[in-house]
Structure 1
Amino acid sequence: MKPQDISRRHFLRQAAWSGAALTLAAYMPVNGQTTPVIVNPVTGGALQGTELMSWISISPAGKVTLMCNRSEMGQGTFQALPQMLAEELEVALDDVEIVFASANPEKYGPQPQEGSFSVRGWAPRLLRTGACAREMLIETAAAEWNVPRNDCYAENGMVINRKTQAKLAYGTLVEKAAKLKPPTDVILKKRSEYKIIGKSAPRKDIPLKTNGTALFGMDKKLPGMKYAVIERSKRFREAVKSFDDSETRKVPGVSHVFKVKRPVFSQYCEGVAVVADSLWAAMQGRKALKVHWNDPDFDLPNTASLEKQMRENLQKIGSHSRFEAEYGPCTQKLEASYETPYQSHSCMEPLNCIADVRPDSIEIWGPIQEANWIQADLSQRFNIPVERVAVHMTFLGGGFGRKAFPDYPYEAAFISKEIQAPVQVIWTREDDMTAGPFRPGAFYTLKGGLNTQGNIHAFQANTATQWIGQEWSPTAPGAPEAAGYNTGDFEGLLHPYRQGIPHYSFGGAGTHTPIPVMWWRSVYASTHGFACESFIDELAHLAGKDPMAFRRAHLPAPRYQALIDRMTELTAWQSRGKNQGWGVAFTECFTGICGHAVKVTRNAEGKVRIEKVIALMDCGWYVNPDIIRAQVEGSIVMALGAATIHATTFEDGKAVQQNFDIYLMPRIADIPPIEVHIMENDEKPGGVGEPGLPPFAPALANAIFDLTGRRIRRLPFSLDEIS
């Protein structure tokens, strides 16, 4: 490279430009207006107290930066969000950089990564923000050329004069464009005009994760940082009675040993922290620690007692006279029970968090799934103003709901405050799999009655499980064990069933236990879907009807009819062979609709094997088909494990499965060929990462029945035991 002869004037001009950028934000007004308002902070457009949902900035060099206010746990946020922005902004995807935003609800709005919300929640904001920035740049260029605005258009990071073909790069326009007020009305592209949206593109986070530059929680380091591990009781809610740290303090590098606590819903769980100069020293010190625990003042839960309680609670759900009046005259009737187990989240990256607590501030780094909640929780518990609590997100090695919980950041902050230094707390795999929270087990009783045409006239689904909401408001002493309810909502069940089935009833009973439970990928739909779609299949066979046609008859909405038509075509359903079993299931959650068809056959030993899975996702308007396929494939692998391989069981108040030696995961050899197809329609964007999971278990169970005549009503089950 030759030395550049840069004048002082040129240098000062470039330095001045480095601070000039076109920066826009989109927020949703508090009046409930659905159209996002675009504001330009330079012109004073950022109103006091507005909740800004996303910030974009275009530098004088033409680089676009998007502040991502949500976490990336593998679901594709780092790709889908830039694609939406780049499409309307008319820039190459390579020119968009995405950066994690710290927790700041006033600036970035709600920041939870849950409910498969990123695309369906961000699409209108980012599309309009990109379009507004594009129009401001075009307006600036038109003024530079002194031509009508319609004589200009934007493409590939430049504004082009239609008549002369003159070009101005975005970077040369941002200084003046930044002084403009964003337009209130912009015309978004038609779907047929998209160049980036709807196309598969290499994910922007993959190179980082393959070359080692991606920053996960355990990668982050701070000057003077200590390391901590915590000895926790394997029993739930067991308190520290005493501990002997004499041998622990002999381990070189160990500096502190003291009792800690962490909030788990309405309870605090205790443990003993070992703090050291290195993680290895802290772990060795923990091994030498002797802790005595106070026995809890309740009966220790075990799986047998939990299942007994849920079965009894199902009996406590009263019958509804209106439903029974319609069910009674039905010509054909069926009742069945279904059972699903507790599950661990078992993210590949165990929990970890760094905290640096000062007298008047808290700073957190880690795999945080719900930045706002954790920020508010720490502010309240440590009595520090929320604006003095900084929560920085790193990449997550899986989350599935567990890393939205505020217990592990609080634990790190508690220790940092005690030792007056930054600290990184690392959970072992055993810590993660025994402490929970878990996906709750759920038991179901279902009743269905057919009319003379063989269609469902009355349908009932009752559930006994631990309701996640009740963990924040535990049952008061003396209150009944089961609280009944009857609602028209049943997560996972296709919505049009409520129009296609004349009479339905949903009831539930809360099961109370000290085992902590919370969200797990697709939440209740992961268990509801198994029970309901398996039972729908049973009713189809009771009616003597084809399972696909039976569902079609009860789903009158055109969108769902199209879904079934497409699945029928993909599976060649009408010509399926006699020596193979086919099962199908459709579920819906977080505005995403997904169908799975599973084909099973017998191997040479006569055992059932999964030969193929065909998945059909209807998420409406979508951004990146490759991300959708990856999410659905991952959902199927996770669902396969939960259906046929692993479960969390309890004995003596403890989780039995403490590591992957007995909580087995699906291996590559266990995964069948998977085809993922996407419905093309003009529906609003829906979720993908969670809706792709629930249909698998019922589709597999229905396929096994089709092949063997055996009904699977309890999960997990072993494929090796089915013949």
Structure 2
Amino acid sequence: METNGVSRRDFIRASGLAGTALCLGFYFPANAKKAQLVSANAAEATGFEFNAWMHIGTDGKITLTDHRAEMGQGSYQSVPQIIAEELEVDLKDIDVVFAKGDPKKYGSQITGGSSTIRGSYKRLLMLGATARQMLIMAAAAKWNAPVADCYAQAGQVIHRPTGNKLHYGELVADASKLTPPKDVPLKPMSDYKLIRKPLKKLDTPMKTNGEAIFGLDKRLPGMLFASVERNPRLRGKLVSFDSTAALKVPGVKQVFKVQMMVFNTTRDGVVVLADSTWAAMQGRKALKVTWDETGFEHVNTVDIYKSHQELLKTKEGLSVKKQGNPDAVLDKPGKKLDVIYETPYQSHAAMEPLNCIAHYQSDKIEIWGPIQAPDWVQGDISDKFKMPKEKVVVNMTFLGGGFGRKAFLDYPQEAVAISKQAGVPVQVVWTREDDIKQGPYRAGISYRGQGAIENGAITALKFKMAGQNIDHWSGPGRGKPNGSTTEGFLNPYFESIKNISFADVPYEMPLPNMWWRSVYASTNGFAYESFINEMALLAGKDQLSFRREYLKDERCQRLIDRMEEVSGWKARKKNEGYGVAITECFDTTVGQVVKVSRNAAGKIKIDKVWAVMDCGWYVNPDIIKAQVEGSVLMALGAATTHEITFKNGLVEQNNFYDYLMPRITDMPTVEVHIMENTADAGGVGEPALPPFAPALTDAIFDLTGKRIRKLPFNMNAV
């Protein structure tokens, strides 16, 4: 199934728009506080650029433009499920296409920060409701009946007094001429028929029968295939290369130098262009390349963490948030805790390796691929290649995982540069080794936690973090503290603890780092929640009861109630290993309880994980459960099986044989519970990752008495 975006001109051509279809979309005026919902006719009349988010044809079929990427998080299902609810149609009547990159039409298109639903669900509900109301108004006019006597159901408008029916397809011509009504009432949640139901995903059949088009599946006439030998050290330069043997490989066409920007640094590479990916890779193996790797530090992992510890002990850092005077409290005698936590560098290791197709032409650049941020790519390519934005077309395909890596701009830019030099459309495919050795990575970060207890209560908390700051790579963040230092730490703590401070100790290192699933919460959560567990022990209190004293808002209290209930927390026995953690990111709070024991061989095993998520308004509980399970597994790998390490400036890992992924037999039983409330939607794809590691290590301490403060650790060695 091709899922190319749909342009305004395509819609005009395909549907006529002159009274033959109902097209609704959003207009994003400059500096407007919210998008305006408009029809295609209104767009034509006023002349502004129209984005057709929804098109209903005379056959009643609905084409929905998904403005965000689908990388397994469920956007391809959740967006139409929202629309179908208010539009009163069956999901089988909706076709989904991916939008092209264009922030003027679609607003932000970045699939990251668990933002797709929480950032647009109200607009999507209104889109469906408005279309439904316009169809009802058109039917009422045909029957010369009051609008109040008509209602929509199953893709039809029904006249309540007579039972007469009109199919949506029979009404679109008249409906398209109406002005979209404002402030159409939305359904109460009690009337939902589709939302909050575990409906099967629309993209599952096409992903299992081969119809779905991922980046690696896309083909263009005359396209060649490229593999790139890149400098193994980010700042090294190409001295020379010998392509003699490479050009003798059957299918190899050209060999030449290429450069791409990685943040503000240029990375050199040698391109092998061929008539197949296999031939390009074989030609690359035959290359002889000389690199200049002098003039800069060749780092080692052990030195990174030594530097972290020294900084945390000797520097106060840049203040991020402070209330009260924790230093004065910590200077007094009493029960105190002063510990350091370490978290590792991590690769994204998405199952679909990086790839991108680019076709550079003198008057146009077009891109196809697994891209998390098509609007960012459009702007970056326009800037780097001096092409007007409207001449840069970015097409999204399905993504086989992204985790933030496929929101980066380097691989599309590299593909365009290669196509420009080759003069033909080119597909660049990264190997697994390329992905793991080149980065960018989640930065390894170390933390110092200091706290004081008096009469069983926290009197002071002080946290410092030392690690690379993503913003430093892009330039503007230099000299400023890491604004994400408190990410993952629940706000109610600030309301109940008088003396708290957070500081960022700047740490510079020439290693490319960037977002990774749940971003800084993935490392912050381990340090901060582990520290809270240690403070509970120091206070002589139960970990959940201890948190209840400080997380006093109603939603947190109800979440803790549920955690205790589902896990049997209060009925747990001695010599059973139970651990707990609660974190918040992207407007969602997740609490997890982990139970561990020893197997017959005496090794630690995870018996069960209970995860309670409060994400407010939500769409599909099955998607939530899948995201929580995936987050737990990814967190398990990051805590116990894999890390990126450096020796003499080179990444030591290569592929899954030494960047070890959890196996299916390692996957614990995960029981997911979703809190029901009417709060605004929070994120789903990332917030369940941060609490797992601190809950796991707390459970291991509960069972063994061994406190784990450094990740990753070997489960078999505990």
Question: Structure 2 length normalisation: TM-score?
Answer: 0.95
- Residue 561 of structure 1 and its aligned partner are, at CA, apart by 0.5
Task: Name the CA distance, whole Å, in 2 between partners of 1:456 and 1:484.
Answer: 29
C-alpha displacement at 1:502, in angstroms? 1.1
Q: Distance in 2 between matches of 1:283 and 1:323?
A: 58
Q: What is the CA–CA distance in structure 2 between the aligned matches of 1:388 and 1:564, rounded to whole Å?
A: 53
Query: How far apart are 1:50 and its partner, in Å?
Result: 7.2
Equivalent residues in 2 for 1:240-639 (5 A)?
Answer: 240-318=238-316, 322-329=325-332, 331-452=334-455, 454-473=456-475, 485=481, 490-639=486-635
Once the two structures are TM-superposed, the CA of residue 165 in structure 1 deviates from its matched residue by 0.6
Question: Aligned residues, how many?
Answer: 700
Shift, 1:497, TM fit? 0.9
CA deviation string 1:634-691 (max 9, x = no partner): 0000000000001000011111011000101011111111111100111110001110
Show CA shifts across 1:60-91 (max 9, x none): 11111110111000000011000100000011
Please report how far the alpha carbon of residue 104 of structure 1 lies from its aligned counterpart in structure 2 after TM superposition. Answer: 1.3
State the partner residue of 1:11. Answer: none
Counterpart position of 1:4: none
- Indicate whether 1:669 and 2:665 are aligned: yes
- 5+ residue gaps in structure 1? 1-13, 477-482
SS in 1 for 2:148: helix
Note the alpha carbon deviations across 1:82-129, whole angstroms, 9 max, x for none: 010000001111111111011111111111001000110111111001
Name the SS for the 1:44 alignment partner. Answer: helix
Partner SS, residue 585 of structure 1: strand
2:530 counterpart letter in structure 1: S
- Give, in whole Å, the separation in 1 of the partners of 2:688 and 2:621: 14
Matched-pair contact (CA < 8 Å) for 1:486–1:505:
no
**1:80 pairs with 2:78:** yes
Cα distance in 2 for partners of 1:662, 1:618 equals 36
Q: Quick one: which of 212, 215, 233 aligns to 1:214?
A: 212
Range with bigger deviation, 99-108 or 440-449: 99-108
Shift of 1:510: 2.1
| C-alpha distance in 2 between matches for 1:674 and 1:15 | 47
| 1:125-164 paired onto structure 2 within 5 Å | 125-164=123-162
The correspondence of residues 67-146 of structure 1 with structure 2, limited to 5 A, is 67-146=65-144
- Cα offset for 1:48? 5.9
**Helix, strand or coil at the partner of 1:116:** coil
User: Secondary structure of the equivalent of 1:311?
Assistant: helix
Structure 1 stretch 60-69 or stretch 229-238: which is displaced more? 229-238
> What is the one-letter code of the residue matched to 1:639?
A
1:447-481 Cα distance to aligned partner (Å, 9 max, x none): 111232x11111111000000000112999xxxxx
Q: In terms of mean alpha carbon deviation, does 213-222 or 273-282 score higher?
A: 273-282
Tell me the distance in 2 between the aligned counterparts of 1:523 and 1:382. Answer: 30
CA distance in 2, matches of 1:487, 1:132: 39
Instruction: Report if the CA contact (8 A) 1:236-1:653 is conserved.
Output: no
CA 1:174–1:498 in 2, change beyond 3 Å: closer, same or farther? same
- Per mean C-alpha deviation after superposition, the further-off stretch among 637-646 and 100-109 is 100-109
Query: Would the aligned equivalents of 2:617 and 2:678 in 1 still touch at CA under 8 Å?
Result: yes
SS in 2 for 1:355: strand
The code of the aligned residue for 2:364 comes to S
Which secondary structure state, in structure 1, belongs to the residue aligned with residue 351 of structure 2?
coil
Structure 2 distance, partners of 1:551, 1:329, is: 24
Deviation of 1:314 after TM superposition, in Å, equals 1.6
* Structure 2 CA distance for aligned equivalents of residues 346 and 55 of structure 1: 32
> Shift in Å at residue 315 of structure 1?
2.8
* Structure 2 residue 44 is matched with structure 1 residue 42: no
Aligned residue for 1:137, secondary structure, equals: helix
- CA distance, structure 2, for counterparts of residue 185 and residue 682 of structure 1: 19
Alignment partners' CA distance in 2, 1:31 and 1:256:
48
Q: CA deviation at 1:422?
A: 0.4
Cα distance in 1, alignment partners of residues 427 and 473 from structure 2: 28
Structure 1: how far apart are the matches of 2:476 and 2:88? Answer: 53
CA shift for structure 1 position 44: 3.5
CA apart distance, 1:332: 1.8
Shift of 1:331: 3.6
Q: Distance in 1 between matches of 2:545 and 2:355?
A: 49
CA distance in 1 between counterparts of 2:298 and 2:185 reads: 62
- CA offsets, 1:172-222, max 9 Å, x none? 000010000000121000000000001010101111100001000010000
Q: Deviations over 1:11-52 (max 9, x none)?
A: xxx997998210111345555535x42111213378666796
| Residue number in structure 2 paired with 1:24 | 24
RMSD: 1.9
Distance, in Å, in 2 between the alignment partners of 1:613 and 1:98 is: 35
**Contact 2:19/2:177 (<8 A) preserved:** no
Distance apart, 1:486 and its partner CA:
8.8
Q: Are the aligned partners of 1:343 and 1:441 in contact in 2 as well (CA < 8 Å)?
A: yes
Are the counterparts in 2 of residues 136 and 177 from structure 1 also a CA contact under 8 Å? Answer: yes
Shift of 1:250: 1.1
Residue 6 of structure 1 aligns with which residue? none
Change (3 A) 1:403 1:475: closer
Q: Which runs of 5+ in 2 are unaligned?
A: 1-13
Q: Distance in 2 between matches of 1:216 and 1:18?
A: 35
- The 3 A distance-change label for structure 1 pair 467 and 700 is same
Inter-partner Cα distance in structure 1 for 2:395 and 2:413: 14
Give the share of equivalent positions with the same residue, in percent: 54
| Structure 1 residue 316 displacement after superposition | 4.0
SS in 2 for 1:247: helix
| Partner-residue secondary structure (3-state), 2:53 | strand
The alignment partner of 1:241 has SS state of strand
**Partner of 2:687 in structure 1?**
691
- Tell me: CA distance 1:309–1:177, structure 2 relative to 1, closer, same or farther (3 Å): same
